[in-house]
Amino acid sequence: MTPTTTRAADGVRPPGGTTPGKATPGARPAPAAGRRQGRRETLAGYLFLTPWCVGILLLTLGPMLVSLYLAFTDYNLFDSPRWIGFKNFQDLFADDRWWTSVQVTLKYVLIGTPLKLAAALAVALLLVKPRKGQGFYRSAFYAPSLIGASVSIGVVWRAIFNDNAIVDKSMSLFGWDVGGWIGDPDWALPTLVTLTVWQFGAPMVIFLAGLKQVPSELYEAAEMDGAGRWRRFRSITLPMISPVLFFNLLLELIHSFQVFTSAVVIAGSGTNTGGPGDSLLVYGWYLYEQGFRNLRMGYAAAMAWMLMLGIGLVTAVLFKTQRGWVHYEEDAR
Amino acid sequence: MGAGRWTARARGVRAVAAVVAALGLLATGCGGGSGSGDGKVTIRYSWWGAKDRAELIQKTVKLFEKEHPNIKVKTDFSEYTDFWSKFNTQAAGGNAPDVFQNSYAFLRKYGDKNLLLDLNGQADAGNLSLKGFRDGLEKAGDIDGKLLGVPVGANTFAFFYNPDAFQKAGVTVKDGWTWDDFFAAAKKVRKSDGTLYGASDNANVMYLYDLYLRQHGKAFFTKDDKLGFTKDDLTEWWGRWQQHAKADELVPGKKSEQAKPKASISADLSASEFTWDNFLVRFAAETKTTLDLGPIPTTDGKRTAQYLSSLMLSGSARTQHPKEVAQFIDFMTHDPEVGKIMGYNRGIPATTAQYDAYRPQGVDAKIAAYEKSVSAKLEPITPHPAGADVAEAAFLRIYTQVALGQSSMGKAVDQFFSEAESALGS
């Protein structure tokens, strides 16, 4: 690397990072010229940063602030927003359907996430040891999460679990006659959960990386001490990959709370309700319905901030508890 | 070293140039409007429906573009409920389609928000003819003196039934039959055929309840935009259907949910159903069972309280091309060729020119005969306030929960009133 490229890279750093002048003093012939050049490069850096800065201001921070403001207004998308204080939040707590959406989402998160992580870990354990066709299997299991949020998978799921479709027919052979799973208020949500569990590819890849980091000496030593498979898994694998597990858990929880596309597509987007008897009315869907169908954008904004609070709370609790079960290598030292 | 300084400066200059170029691209990307230099005007036309309608509409648009070479029409469609979500988003951004499919239930909702073009001005200017509409339909889009929509097709409610099942049960459907006759017929059909229920549970269909209320001198909505019935009225209506559902005469809630997106009657679960008469086109494609159209049951043996509703075309109040929009609507409603192509896909054509041009065959002929049989009895439509669509969705959903056994009658009625009143109040 030439000194020029090093400095150019430094210049791209966001404010607060090392200043180019300090970074490589030896490489500069004269301090004054260096400073001038440094300033120019800083300027270039900022210029390169501009699209990103404009992006975060206009597309992330701006909308968030507007949404926070709208949460305290009555806004129907067409007339200008009217300040109503905390009324949207009060209405939320009195809204039966809001509570339904909270319940449906919690069920989805609390059942779906552990199952998904268990499936991801189980398959990762199978695929971590070198074997024939390993690459193929890894890609095959990963594929479903690549096409994860797509509408097409929802459509396929709907076709599979519909009345008189393949699942219904094959289950009937064994005397288990549900009928159309998607139309049955008791089975619609489990259908949605199976879809998320099936898409375990992304956490699986992360688990694979984590499993590869576990030193094989530990297993060898344990085996010599006569530890069985289960014992080795519990006492070595789990603690060693607990940071990865923590990361996956956090990511999947946050992701699950925001479920939308699959629920809407499975229940049929042309319907006016959240699936049979609102059994698929996930939080994101109700928010969307209030905002864009019922034209209650202020209410929807309040819902969004409640969701953010909820996710924040869950994340905070997880971080608090991680001391108890997540083991980082530094702790061992 | 001098070379190094030179490259650094060049890099800085290039960076600036790149950013400027990027911003420039953005600016032109946003500014690209519809009015292009060659004098051609582009209008956006969006509508709801499915693939069958899409093919027909493409044909009519091609025809229009051929006759008006200076106008280009961009089309866009989605399913009914998705259509309105998309429309709301576009309209809120000031980017509503220039011309779009609309229906009676939405005229006031969007008219109140000044989103719809008042077509009276264009009619006066001679760009749109309001003559030749059937049964006074040209007034259908008139809201408080403003012409907010022009009907392309009209339909009315009908009783759909499976004539074979009814014959087997020894029941005849006749003019002036009562609700008691209807429920008795459903019971008989259920008794005579183990595989069919007598009727679909249509207690959640707002338009049917509206007819029932009108037969009693009330209506679903009052003129001052409120609900036109009491909690007791609704408990009586829903309760009556529930009583027959519990007696196993009507399709159970769970089964009809599982049959979706098919209707219970086209899924061959039930022998009768109430819905808009142009649905016969759809049902004929979904089931092999032959279906007939019969009269709506009455309260007094005479009055069915039916009215014509219609699909319309409306223009956006913010369109840059009101003249072209009016010309397009005029063509779509009056041109006989368009009538031939569309058939009864959007209901019976609203103008005599299109009505006469199309010779109904098969199921379309049945719909035509049905509308002829009720035309003398039709009454004016009840006004739909803003929020009517939300009230309709709540009506459907909340009774479905009763039918699924998830909600008690008392709770359901209370919930409907609270949701509907807040929707109508806003």
ipTM given for this complex: 0.83
Of A41, A79, A272, the CB nearest to B113: A79
pLDDT score at B81: 81
Bridge partners of B41, per DSSP, are: B71
Cβ within 8 Å, pair A185-B257: yes
pLDDT under 70: residue ranges of chain A: 1-34, 148-149, 269-272, 329-333
CA distance B252 to B405: 10
The pTM score is: 0.84
pLDDT score at B35: 45
Q: Give the list of residues 6+ apart from residue A24 with CB closer than 8 angstroms, or none.
A: A3, A6, A7, A10
Q: Is the dihedral of CA A62, A67, A73, A75 positive or negative?
A: positive
Structure tokens at B119: 């077509």
Reported for A13-21, long-range contacts at CB under 8 A and 24+ positions apart, including other chains, are A13/A45, A14/A49
Establish if A270 touches chain B: CB-CB under 8 angstroms: yes
Residues 200 through 229 of chain B touching chain A, CB cutoff 8 Å:
none
Cβ within 8 Å, pair B258-A179: yes
pLDDT score at A135: 86
CA distance B329 to B410: 47
Q: Is the dihedral of CA B274, B278, B283, B284 positive or negative?
A: positive
pLDDT in tens, A183-211: 888 999 999 999 999 999 999 999 999 99
Helix (H, G, I), strand (E, B) or coil at B175: coil
Query: Which stretch of DSSP H or E encloses residue B12?
Result: helix B2-31
CA dist A103 to A100, A108, A262, B384, B410, Å?
5, 9, 17, 34, 22
Structure tokens at A66: 């507007």
Residue with tokens 């069972």: B289
pLDDT score at A243: 94
Residue B397: closest C-alpha in chain A? A273
Residues of chain A with CATH 1.10.3720.10: 89-327
Which of A329, A82, A57 is closest to A214 using CA atoms?
Answer: A329
pLDDT score at B14: 53
Query: Topology of domain B41-153+311-372, per CATH?
Result: D-Maltodextrin-Binding Protein; domain 2 (3.40.190)
Residue B21: closest C-alpha in chain A? A51
Establish if A1 touches chain B: CB-CB under 8 angstroms: no
Establish if A10 touches chain B: CB-CB under 8 angstroms: no
Q: What is the largest CA-CA distance in chain A?
A: 87
User: Domain extents for chain B?
Assistant: 41-153+311-372, 156-307+382-424
Superfamily of domain A89-327 in CATH is: MetI-like (1.10.3720.10)
pLDDT in tens, A281-331: 999 999 999 999 889 999 999 999 999 999 999 999 999 999 888 888 665
Q: CA B420, B423, B425: angle at the middle one, nearest 5?
A: 105
Reported for A64-70, long-range contacts at CB under 8 A and 24+ positions apart, including other chains, are A67/A301, A67/A304, A67/A305, A68/A301, A68/A305, A70/A297, A70/A298, A70/A301
Establish if A44 touches chain B: CB-CB under 8 angstroms: yes
CA distance B5 to chain A (A): 8
Cα dihedral A98/B222/B156/B260 (nearest 10): 10
CA distance A23 to A8: 11
- Other C-beta atoms closer than 10 Å to the C-beta of A171 total 14
Q: What is the pLDDT along chain B (426 residues), one digit of tens a residue?
A: 344 444 445 555 455 555 444 444 444 443 334 444 467 899 999 999 878 889 999 999 999 999 999 999 999 998 888 899 899 999 988 899 999 999 988 999 999 989 999 999 999 999 999 999 988 788 889 988 999 999 999 999 999 999 999 999 999 999 999 999 999 999 999 999 889 999 999 999 999 999 999 999 999 999 999 999 999 999 999 999 999 999 999 999 999 998 888 899 999 999 999 999 988 988 998 899 999 999 999 999 999 999 998 899 999 999 999 999 999 999 999 999 999 999 988 889 999 999 999 999 888 999 999 999 999 999 988 889 999 999 999 999 999 999 999 999 999 999 999 999 999 986
- CATH number for domain B156-307+382-424, candidates 3.20.20.70, 3.30.420.40, 3.40.190.10, 1.20.210.10: 3.40.190.10
pLDDT score at B1: 39
CA distance B302 to chain A (A): 34
Q: Give the list of residues 6+ apart from residue B350 with CB closer than 8 angstroms, or none.
A: B133, B134, B137, B140, B150, B151, B152, B153, B154, B310, B333
